[in-house]
Structure 1
Amino acid sequence: MNRPDELTISAAITELMKPELEDDLTAVDSRRTFTDLGLDSTGVVAVAEGLRERIGLVIEPEEFFDHPTVEDLSRHLLARLGRE
């Protein structure tokens, strides 16, 4: 599997997150927190599973809270990919 870049990871997070949000957002601000965007714990699990399938990393729900924006989580996951 080719290692994705930060933009690819951000796009995947955003795409996977949109169906999980209560509000129908056409654009997701990558600097707003997941909580502010309306992503709940069920949504976090769904996004984590989708990311596992797309980029091959097991992502714990806590990582969404430790890295609470699309931007932060993308950088974190990219760093993890570099270490694994």
Structure 2
Amino acid sequence: MKQIQHGDDVGQIQLGSEDVEAAAVAGDVMVDFNVLTARKSGPDNLISCDFIDGKLATVTPAPVALHCALIEVRYDTKHKP
């Protein structure tokens, strides 16, 4: 029987990465990244996560850690650069 691993040895889950090439655009390119649950057990989101929202030029080029917690824990989300 295969064991399902929900996180690595420090509890991190790698969601992957994706490089996207876009044609040149005029003005600032904006980024909006949010994490939501699949809502299979009910109609409401179950987690509250940090998020990225703003100009692409201000987003950290290295991987950015987004922290999440159950909504009932009342985690104060942070706007990440």
TM-score relative to the length of structure 2: 0.31
Larger Rg: 2
Structure possessing the higher relative contact order (Cα contacts under 8 Å, 6 or more residues apart): 1
Superposition TM-score, scaled by structure 1 size: 0.30
